[in-house]
Structure 1
Amino acid sequence: MIYTPASRRVLFPVKTSTELMAALQFPSTIFKTQKWMDDYSASDMRCGDLTEAQLKSRYRLDYISDRVDPWTLTRRSSMDRPQSMFCCNLRRAGEKITRQQCAAMLFDEFRSLSRKFSLYGPYSHLIEKMITHMQNGNDTPFRDMSLDRALKEQIIRDSSEKNSTRILLSKALKTGIDWESKHFPAEKQDRLRKAILEGRLPKFDRFQDNFNGMGITVHDTWATHITIKSLHIENDRYRAVVHYKVQDHFGLDSDDITKTKFNQFHFFRIWFVLQRYNQFGFKPFMTNMEATVEIIGARNEI
């Protein structure tokens, strides 16, 4: 307390440095990737922009399907396949089909080929569902509860002290909380962002994702926003509710298809032609995922 020099003493409470620190208000978005949400200008969101000549010369996409030839709009026979010993001498002209029939046949083959990338698990059905969305959805965003569940599972099960954004955020909260005033100071908000930057954002590039359907549907991600919705502090313990919003693009760009690991598979060759060929131009779309997790800790926990 301080006193006036007047004869009558008037008491004024002096605020401590702790009391002067404003509390961070929630919900608070503590992290955003540099890449934007809903970025339809991204290279993998292009469609219908390449000619037959470009697809053949630049991307070596002369042969893309065992069922149909999109360049001549004809069905293929087994002897049309490059691996056939008869292909050079006994190639036969196939049945003519319409462009719509050709696209439908390519999408059927696209779905059939996807099964080798989604052999088991609760997410194995997603790739076929997303291919059908590309065929019929006309670029509308895609949401599915299974994607949300996969995201939450990935966040919770990541137990890496160095990589888990959940664990790193927990440490930043514990050390940043003003335990006497029971709040998180606004001036320390950047600590939370830096904690996220030190970790690894949720992705689906683990070994099991090559077979469970998540590697082929999402794999890497485009944009991530992380928001602390609430923070409750009581009796030297805290409970934070954290929301992850993640977005990916279901589309291929030129870099994807020129990589040998993609170009060698008819699955990706068909995908690229359906999306980028100016006679098809099926639109890629945004894949949206969200998950809310709790982070619970204590002031003195080890």
Structure 2
Amino acid sequence: MAALAFPCTIFQTQNRMDDYGAKDMRCGDLTEAQLKTHYHLLDVSTKANPYTLTKITPFSQPQSMFHGSRGEGEKISRQQCTNILFDEFRHLSQAFSVYGPYSHLIKQMITHMQRANGAPFRSMYLDSALREHIIRDNDSDNSTRLLLQAALKDNIDRENKIYPVKNKDKLRKAILKGKLPKFDRFQDNFNGMGITVHDTWATHITIKSLQIDNNRYRAVVHYQIQDHFGLDVDDISKFKFNQFRFFRIWFVLQRYNQFGFRPFMTNMEATIEITGTRNENEK
């Protein structure tokens, strides 16, 4: 019987890694008229008008009863304007990142967007958040870790101490039954992960090694996950995004053809161990 060789990638999403052609990776592709007409982005910032490159004062804010009575605000350069918008962008992020070890990440990622010209982003905090999510998910119906554990237990050839090649697809099907790690839980609305990652774009799961001793087995499993720190037109068209100035500023900084700040790939990885026995009661 042929044995599965390791490392072996057992699952890949249809969305591919490093997909710079994705809709939310576009930048600098929309005009002022498109932003205003199609996406209703007239009131973008409380600090600076991105279209006229002027500072906004209490008298010049669109919602002010004195709007227009004192003329436009002070003229500023495009660089000064984007700096003001990014500062406001960071300030507004506090509403989505209230507590916890990941609360600082959103400001760090906004600054990365401002300065890194689209370079990929990595952080040990993202890797830690991913590993914690996988390890702490104890929902037997959704946890890819627990579903993979069950599939290994049921399909290992213990007599020959191998995992048969013919059973490889059962590992992929086990993962498909569950829910891939995403940061869309209730707590992610406040701990910084919901705003930095939330959903994910691509996931690869690889068994790096599998050791089988008598009735016990030990698998080392690696998760590689990638998300896009960018907005597409579907995002900004939804009220749940458009209602927040945070997302309006983000979209204009990314998509306005006078700015065009590049979105970027957010890379995360985690390695876990999955162990088990033939029967749950065996020690």
Over residues 36-80 of structure 1, what are the superposed CA-to-partner deviations in whole Å (9 max), with x where a residue is unaligned?
A: 000000000000000000000000001100000011100001133
CA distance in 1, matches of 2:100, 2:216: 37
- Equivalent residues, number: 281
Over residues 78-125 of structure 1, what are the superposed CA-to-partner deviations in whole Å (9 max), with x where a residue is unaligned?
A: 1333443333x6354210000010001000000000011000000000
Asked whether the equivalents of residues 52 and 71 of structure 1 are also in contact (C-alpha less than 8 Å), the reply is yes
In structure 2, what is the equivalent of residue 90 of structure 1? 69
How much does 1:187 deviate?
0.6
Residue type of the partner of 1:42?
A: A
CA distance in 1, matches of 2:79, 2:114: 11
Report the TM-score when normalising by structure 1. Answer: 0.92
Asked whether the equivalents of residues 55 and 76 of structure 2 are also in contact (C-alpha less than 8 Å), the reply is yes
Structure of larger gyration radius: 1
Q: Which of 97, 101, 105 is 2:80 aligned to? A: 101
Asked whether the equivalents of residues 77 and 92 of structure 1 are also in contact (C-alpha less than 8 Å), the reply is no
Superposition CA RMSD, Å: 0.9
In structure 2, what is the equivalent of residue 150 of structure 1? 129
The answer on 1:230 being equivalent to 2:202 is no
CA distance in 1, matches of 2:278, 2:71: 76
The answer on 1:42 being equivalent to 2:22 is yes
In structure 1, what is the equivalent of residue 194 of structure 2? 215
Structure 1: 5+ residue stretches without partners: 1-20
The answer on 1:189 being equivalent to 2:187 is no
The answer on 1:278 being equivalent to 2:257 is yes
Report the TM-score when normalising by structure 2. Answer: 0.98
Q: Which of 61, 84, 87 is 1:81 aligned to? A: 61
The answer on 1:31 being equivalent to 2:25 is no
Asked whether the equivalents of residues 142 and 288 of structure 1 are also in contact (C-alpha less than 8 Å), the reply is yes
Over residues 150-178 of structure 1, what are the superposed CA-to-partner deviations in whole Å (9 max), with x where a residue is unaligned?
A: 00000001000100000000000000001
Identity over aligned residues, as a percent? Answer: 70
Q: Which of 34, 39, 51 is 1:54 aligned to? A: 34
In structure 2, what is the equivalent of residue 6 of structure 1? none
SS of residue paired to 1:246: strand
SS of residue paired to 1:78: coil
Moved over 3 A (4+): 89-92
Residue type of the partner of 2:4?
A: L
Over residues 111-157 of structure 1, what are the superposed CA-to-partner deviations in whole Å (9 max), with x where a residue is unaligned?
A: 00001100000000000000000000011100000000000000001
SS of residue paired to 2:121: coil
Residue type of the partner of 1:137?
A: A
CA distance in 2, matches of 1:223, 1:158: 19
In structure 2, what is the equivalent of residue 65 of structure 1? 45
In structure 1, what is the equivalent of residue 91 of structure 2? 112
